Amino acid sequence: MHEIVYFNTPGFAEVSRFCLEMSGLQWKNTIVDWDGYLKMKEQGELPWGFLPIIRTPQGTVAESNALLRYTGALAGLEPEDLYMRAKVDELVEVINGWRESFTPTFSIEDLDEKMAARQALFATDGKMDRALKAISLVFEQSTTGWLANTESMSIADVKAFMDTFMLFSGQFDGITPDMLGNYPSLLAFHEKMSNEPMVKNYYDSDDEVRWVFRPNAFQDVGSSQHI
Ligand SMILES: N[C@@H](CCC(=O)N[C@@H](CS)C(=O)NCC(=O)O)C(=O)O
């Protein structure tokens, strides 16, 4: 049995939760709150002091990208060919770098300042604007329809889909769905991923923030760009 332990939000664990679901193995989704996190930390259950972790039959693994690779391999989302696997990893690392440009905004206490810092990242030529344009281009140039040119979905697609669109759920002050209007290819990637049967089934329920992973989530944004 595998068990992922994390907060309720998608955050750093959503990709691995999805991969475990795709693996078809039995798994447990354990949700903790801040007190639960502190307790685990005190009890020495977190190898590096952070969540998420995954408990496996052989022991605990920490660090979200290690979890992604492990659960992705279980789900068959890691190519066998080592060159292809490296190209998948290349994208995973690049996407991770984008997240790192966003996370420092969490520590800005003043709300207006925080929102302004985030909006600057998404303004033309801001770091996130360039990131979203880059992933759009990768999608446009793919010959297979999958970001790393794999024959089927890889962890690069899962990471790009979840780490990107979770930003637009409304849970992050200053980031709104209409900001996606400038990226039609990214919205096409959303349409492809959200309509994949496994993705579609997994998110076929109401959720305060996970609506962003459902088909047509950004339909209005897509059409408003032509106005
Ligand atoms: N490098 C870690 C970072 C994980 C991380 O920052 N986790 C946050 C929750 S999203 C956490 O445990 N925060 C607790 C704290 O900052 O004390 C990973 O990728 O797993």
CA of 106 to the centre of ligand 1 (A): 12
Give the pLDDT confidence score for residue 101 in this predicted structure: 86
Q: What is the pLDDT of residues 58-86, one digit of tens each?
A: 999 999 999 999 999 999 999 999 999 99
Q: What is the pLDDT of residues 82-103, one digit of tens each?
A: 999 999 999 999 999 888 888 8
Which residue, among 38, 28, 97, has the nearest Cα to 65 in the 3D structure? 97
Among protein residues, the one with the nearest Cα to ligand 1's atom 11 is 50
Among protein residues, the one with the nearest Cα to ligand 1's atom 1 is 63
User: Is 109's pLDDT higher than 50?
Assistant: yes
What rounded mean pLDDT belongs to the chain? 94
Q: Which residues line ligand 1 (CB under 6 A)?
A: 11-12, 50-52, 63-64
Among protein residues, the one with the nearest Cα to ligand 1's atom 19 is 64
For the question of whether the overall pTM of this predicted structure is more than 0.85, the answer is yes
Contacting residues for 164 by C-beta, under 8 A, at least 6 apart: 95, 132, 135, 186
Domain limits, the chain: 2-74, 82-224
Helix (H) or strand (E) holding 30: strand 27-31
Mean pLDDT over 186-207 rounds to: 96
* Architecture of the domain spanning 2-74: 3-Layer(aba) Sandwich (3.40)
Strand partners, 27: 2
Give the pLDDT confidence score for residue 222 in this predicted structure: 60
How far separated are the first and last CA of the chain, in Å rounded? 51
User: Is 224's pLDDT higher than 80?
Assistant: no
State which of 6, 12, 35, 54 you would mutate to test the pocket of ligand 1, scoring each by most atoms of that ligand within 8 A of its C-beta: 12
